[in-house]
Amino acid sequence: MLRKLGSYPRQNGLAVALRELGRIERTLFILDWLQSVELRRRVHAGLNKGEARNSLARAVFFNRLGEIRDRSFEQQRYRASGLNLVTAAIVLWNTVYLERATQGLVEAGKPVDGELLQFLSPLGWEHINLTGDYVWRQSRRLEDGKFRPLRMPGKP
pLDDT over threshold 80, residue 22: yes
Query: pLDDT for 85-138, tens place per residue?
Result: 989 999 999 999 999 989 988 988 888 898 888 888 999 888 888 876 666 666
Helix and strand numbers, DSSP H then E, in the chain: 5, 0
Asked if 150 contacts 108 with a C-beta cutoff of 8 angstroms, the reply is: no
145 to each of 89, 96, 104, 135, 141, how far by Cα in Å?
17, 12, 17, 21, 12
| Domain layout of the chain by residue ranges | 64-155
The confidence score (pLDDT) of residue 116 equals 87
Distance, C-alpha 58 to centroid of its chain: 11
